[in-house]
Amino acid sequence: MSERYTRIAVFGGVYSNHLALEATLQDARQRGAEAIFCLGDLGAFGPHPDRVFPLLWEHGVQVVQGNYDHSIGNDLADCQCGYTDPRDNYFARLSYAYTYGKTSPQYKDWMKSLPQSLRIELGRYRVLMVHGSPRKMNEFLWESTTPTHFLVKLTRDYAADLILATHTGIHWQRALPGDRYFVNVGVIGRPANDGRTNVWYTMLSATSAPHSLQVEFIPLEYDYQRLAQEMAEEKLPVEFIETILTGWWTTCLEILPGKERRRGRY
Ligand SMILES: [Fe+2]
């Protein structure tokens, strides 16, 4: 029997942004979250990867393994981010080498042990939490390119009324026939390529009544200037710092479908 809740907070993509993580945890508690979930990718772009873990543990956050966590935990050669563009690969390698080198062995072991999915009940809804998609950890499900019939099939195949995922870096949601839903909960590690410096996480509430699901995307302010300063001190790429300071992505752009890319600056 899975755990049952009525109000939860869920986020993805911490990307070593320990300042946003701290702010998210505090904000989620203030908003009455009974439990807090993270859908993976603890490391990447940001500084001091080890600072994330004590916060997750202290707040009892339940964590699903992301592709980054799987790679770091299993000593793989790359992040399994799936880039083919040479420029994106260059930055992905830099970021991965930094994060791998600065993550302590006990945290690597913990990431290796993380589950690839979690199931809970939220009110009347059977919830399945994954990183990319239920069928593949590093599958990108974008709003503009994911057909509704495919999401419906996933809810059927995996016996879920509500599927929660992250991985793409941009939050979105879709109501499906039969009071079912797919929600990309967003990431708290970097802005959503929207020209805003805040990051995004998701609060979800439901009761036992039909159509009672409420999904709220929360814009989360944190000390992004301090994060940028720490990144500079760690000699992380100026391209990553620019994203933190402007809200526009400067790398990992090739993965974006045309519609999502046209919303950004680059
Ligand atoms: Fe990911």
Measure 140 CA to ligand 1 centroid, in angstroms: 8
Lowest-confidence segment of 65-69, 180-184, 196-200, 255-259 by average pLDDT: 255-259
Measure 62 CA to ligand 1 centroid, in angstroms: 17
pLDDT band per the 50, 70, 90 thresholds, residue 252: confident
Q: Which of 39, 48, 46 lies closest to 70 in space, CA to CA?
A: 39
- Structural domain containing residue 206: 4-262
Q: What's the pLDDT tens digit per position in 201-251?
A: 999 999 999 999 999 999 999 999 999 999 999 999 999 999 999 999 998
Q: Work out the average pLDDT over 140-161.
A: 97
pLDDT band per the 50, 70, 90 thresholds, residue 27: very high
Domain of residue 50, CATH code:
3.60.21.10
Number of Cβ within a 10 Å radius of residue 225: 12
Measure 71 CA to ligand 1 centroid, in angstroms: 10
Q: From its phi and psi, is residue 160 left (phi > 0), alpha (psi between -120 and 50) or beta? A: beta
Residues 6+ apart with CB under 8 A from 154: 133, 134, 135, 160, 163, 182
Measure 141 CA to ligand 1 centroid, in angstroms: 11
Measure 32 CA to ligand 1 centroid, in angstroms: 27
* Number of domains forming the structure of the chain: 1
Measure 42 CA to ligand 1 centroid, in angstroms: 9
- pLDDT higher than 70, residue 1: no
Q: How far apart are CA 226 and CA 12, in angstroms?
A: 21
